[in-house]
Amino acid sequence: MQQPPADTIDWDEEFSVETVERDPSTGEVPTDPYDQSNANAGAVPFEGESMAARFGGQDGIRRIVERFVDLNFADPRIAAIFEGHDEVRLRRTLFEQFCYILNAGCDYTGRDMRSSHEGLGSRKADLNAVVENLQQAMHEEGVPFAAQNRLLAKLAPMKGDVVER
Ligand code: HEM
């Protein structure tokens, strides 16, 4: 009869499984070093305060980003692309990016769009799904349609960097 494996075997070691160590204070998985710059956000911010106001300031932007990330991770069309990626970091960096672009008083400290999406294999249809989820999140927050479209117009030129095929 087959014997149960000995308790002393470290299976992670046997199969070279690397455990991800999250930063205890931020809850994020550390990244390789990169140059931080607002230019990494990939768009020039709006001028004045009207766009930030239409998005409900930083509080509104925070709620939109939280809902947007929830929708993307739960969306069967694209969930597999997001699975296993650092959701904690994504919530923070996406908030910073939108807050920066909307001129709501933030700096963007994340990576540029090309390097953060390299190797994900996302396609045009995946981007469409992401945009639909963002529209849903903005709609739920009561962002006027024209203001939604002005933000989307800032994101549209990023297409070549976030989509591979
Ligand atoms: C214009 C549209 C998009 C914007 C503005 C955007 C924005 C961002 C930002 C700010 C980050 C974090 C960068 C960092 O960690 O330093 C990120 C990461 C990520 N994005 Fe996007 N994104 C877009 C489109 C997409 C699409 C279409 C997909 C796939 C369906 C996608 C999937 C991901 C994933 C999986 C990560 C995490 C990558 C990692 O953990 O290394 N994104 N995105």
Which of 9-13, 53-57, 77-81, 98-102 is predicted with the least confidence, judged by mean pLDDT? 9-13
Phi-psi region at 27: left, alpha or beta (left = phi > 0; alpha = psi -120 to 50)? left
Closest CA to 162 of 87, 81, 99, 104: 81
Query: What separation, in Å, do the N-terminal and C-terminal C-alpha atoms of the chain show?
Result: 52
Task: Provide the CATH number for the domain formed by 11-162 in this structure.
Answer: 1.10.490.10
Mean pLDDT, range 139-161, rounded to an integer: 98
Q: Which of 120, 155, 161 to mutate to test the pocket of ligand 1 (most atoms within 8 A of CB)?
A: 120
pLDDT tens-digit series, residues 94-145: 999 999 999 999 999 999 999 999 999 999 999 999 999 999 999 999 999 9
pLDDT of residue 91: 98
What's the number of CA atoms in the CB half-sphere (13 Å) around residue 8?
0
- Going by alpha carbons, the residue nearest to atom 30 of ligand 1 is 126
Give a three-class secondary structure readout of 19-63: CCCCCCCCCCCCCCCCCCCHHHHCCCCCCCCHHHHHCCHHHHHHH
Q: What mean pLDDT comes out for the span 147-152?
A: 98
Q: Which ligand 1 atom lies nearest to the CA of residue 90? A: 12
Q: What confidence score (pLDDT) does residue 1 get?
A: 72
Gap between the Cα atoms of 57 and 63, Å rounded: 10
Contact 112, 40 (CB under 8 A): yes
Q: Which atom of ligand 1 is nearest to the CA of 120?
A: 35
Cα–Cα distance, 67 to 133 (Å, whole number) = 9
Ligand 1 neighbours (beta carbon < 6 A): 78, 81-82, 85-86, 89-90, 93-94, 97, 110-111, 116-117, 120, 122, 126-127, 130, 155, 158, 162
**Using CA atoms, how far apart are residues 75 and 89, in angstroms rounded to an integer?**
19
Site to substitute for ligand 1 among 113, 115, 123, 124, most atoms within 8 A of C-beta: 113
Q: Where are the domains positioned within the chain?
A: 11-162
Q: Name the residue of 117, 123, 165 whose CB sits within 8 Å of the most ligand 1 atoms, as the mutation to test its pocket.
A: 117
